[in-house]
């Protein structure tokens, strides 16, 4: 029987075994959600402390309860390790490793490449590999597809490669399975397999992109949309302060318009793992086409400068009140990038 038909049957009968590589905010959440659907689920992470915590029934992210972890570990539907040996028993491999920026703000995909090299130590025939990490358009094909093709795997026939960007929203009231899912594959068969799999997991709609590049760009656009609008409201807030206009009232009134407006709010600069990073992935990639994204560069610059603006405003307020900054104690309320 063809590998794809075997895999489809396993997915539909919930007999496919799933392995998540990278157990951070995305990977651990994804692993527990899949395991709760009845799939035998493995988790791999190079951080020994994380593996120890999970095996002892503890959770290090707010969106996964310790009760859930204890239940899944006890029932043996969820198993975690630092060893890639778990890959041998998996039918579906989901990569959710970090794609950080280096010290020069350049995207670093070493964790992804390292994961692929570890996978190549095992027989991958008949397996579906899904990348969930945020990457540049073309990365699934260039980093995963070309590497596996180079060692002789026939993509779409004996191995299947897909991209499905994560849409986990930490601290949100929206349940994971209620968030629509985007899927794509390097071939039509790859796309069909990942679509069938996530239709078994996600209760919301599953949308199939025409290519992995389209899905990769979609993920970047989603976070870029937020950064651009956040940076816009920062500038409006600064202007309103100079003009003695209450920006909060302006936003509340603008919200009453039932079309063409989405509210964003001023702050000390957007943080977190995505908003400051993902637009830089796009800026870096666009240089390949000798195209400068001035608008995005400006948005990134504004966001980067906001902490310094807030710092200077604090000094200004202290000076007006005759208070020495050196001897002041400053309380920061709300130190996370969002409510969790």
pLDDT in tens, 183-229: 999 999 999 999 999 999 999 999 999 999 999 999 999 999 999 99
For 239, phi and psi rounded to 5 degrees? -65, -45
- When the pLDDT of each residue in the chain is averaged and rounded to a whole number, the result is 93
Sort 27 into a burial class: Cβ within 10 Å, 0-12 / 13-18 / 19+.
buried
The per-residue pLDDT for 338 is 67
Yes or no: say if 32 and 24 are a contact pair by the CB < 8 Å rule: no
How do beta strands 160-163 and 181-185 pair?
antiparallel
Check whether 172 has a pLDDT greater than 80: no
Give the residue numbers marked as catalytic: 274
The per-residue pLDDT for 325 is 85
Check whether 178 has a pLDDT greater than 90: yes
- Tell me the pLDDT band of 175, cut-offs 50, 70 and 90: confident
User: Nearest Cα to 62, choosing from 339, 326, 287, 308?
Assistant: 339
Give the Cα separation of 221 and 25 in Å (integer). Answer: 21
The per-residue pLDDT for 55 is 95
Q: Where in the chain is the domain with CATH 3.40.50.720?
A: 3-210
The per-residue pLDDT for 160 is 98
Which residues neighbour 167 within 8 Å (Cβ) at sequence distance 6 or greater?
Answer: 179, 180, 181, 182, 222
Record the pTM. Answer: 0.93
- Tell me the pLDDT band of 339, cut-offs 50, 70 and 90: low
Q: What is the pLDDT of residues 248-298, one digit of tens each?
A: 999 999 999 999 999 999 988 888 778 889 999 999 999 999 888 999 999
- Tell me the pLDDT band of 1, cut-offs 50, 70 and 90: low
The per-residue pLDDT for 274 is 85
Q: Where in the chain is the domain with CATH 1.10.1040.10?
A: 220-320
Question: Among 50-59, 170-179, 187-196, 219-228, which stretch is predicted with the lowest mean pLDDT?
Answer: 170-179
Q: What is the pLDDT of residues 76-110, one digit of tens each?
A: 999 999 999 999 999 999 999 999 999 999 999 99
Q: Tell me the residue ranges of DSSP E strands in the chain.
A: 18-21, 41-44, 78-81, 92-95, 128-131, 160-163, 181-185, 206-208
- Domain 220-320 coded CATH 3.40.50.261: no
Length of the chain: 340
Q: Tell me the mean pLDDT in the region 41-62.
A: 94
- Tell me the pLDDT band of 330, cut-offs 50, 70 and 90: confident
Give the Cα separation of 100 and 98 in Å (integer). Answer: 6
Q: Tell me the mean pLDDT in the region 141-158.
A: 96
The per-residue pLDDT for 309 is 93
The per-residue pLDDT for 135 is 97
What is the 8-class DSSP label of residue 80? E
Check whether 337 has a pLDDT greater than 70: no
Looking at domain 3-210, its CATH superfamily turns out to be NAD(P)-binding Rossmann-like Domain (3.40.50.720)
- Which single residue is written with the structure tokens 């993509």? 155
The per-residue pLDDT for 340 is 58
């Amino acid at each position: 029987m063809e590998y794809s038909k075997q895999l489809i049957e396993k997915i539909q009968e919930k007999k496919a075994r799933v392995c998540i590589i990278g157990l951070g905010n995305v990977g651990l959440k994804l692993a527990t959600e899949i395991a709760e659907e009845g799939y035998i689920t493995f988790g791999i992470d190079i951080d020994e402390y994380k593996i120890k915590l999970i095996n002892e029934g503890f959770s290090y992210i707010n969106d996964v309860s310790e009760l859930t972890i204890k239940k899944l570990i006890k029932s043996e539907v969820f198993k975690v390790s630092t060893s890639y040996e778990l890959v041998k028993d998996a039918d579906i491999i989901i990569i959710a490793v970090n794609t950080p920026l280096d010290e020069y703000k350049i995207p670093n995909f070493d964790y992804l490449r390292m994961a692929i090299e570890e996978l190549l130590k095992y027989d991958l025939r008949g397996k579906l590999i899904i990348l969930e990490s945020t990457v540049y358009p073309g990365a699934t094909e260039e980093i995963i597809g070309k590497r596996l093709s180079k060692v002789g795997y026939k993509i779409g026939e004996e191995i299947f490669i897909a991209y499905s960007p994560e849409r986990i929203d930490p601290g949100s009231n929206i349940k994971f399975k209620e968030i629509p899912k985007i899927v794509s594959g390097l071939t039509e068969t790859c796309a069909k397999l990942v679509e069938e799999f996530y239709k078994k997991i996600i209760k919301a709609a599953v949308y199939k992109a025409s290519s992995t590049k389209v899905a990769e760009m979609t993920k970047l656009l989603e976070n870029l949309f937020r950064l651009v609008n956040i940076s816009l409201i920062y500038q409006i807030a600064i202007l309103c302060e100079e003009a003695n206009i209450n920006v909060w009232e302006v936003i509340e009134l603008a919200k009453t318009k039932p079309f063409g407006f989405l509210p964003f709010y001023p702050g000390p600069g957007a943080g977190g793992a995505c908003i400051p990073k993902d637009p830089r992935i796009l800026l870096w990639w666009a240089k390949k086409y000798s195209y400068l994204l001035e608008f995005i560069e400006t948005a990134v610059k504004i966001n980067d400068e906001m902490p310094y603006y807030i710092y200077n405003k604090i000094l200004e307020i202290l000076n007006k009140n005759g208070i020495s900054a050196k001897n002041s104690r400053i309380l920061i309320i709300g130190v996370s990038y969002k409510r969790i």
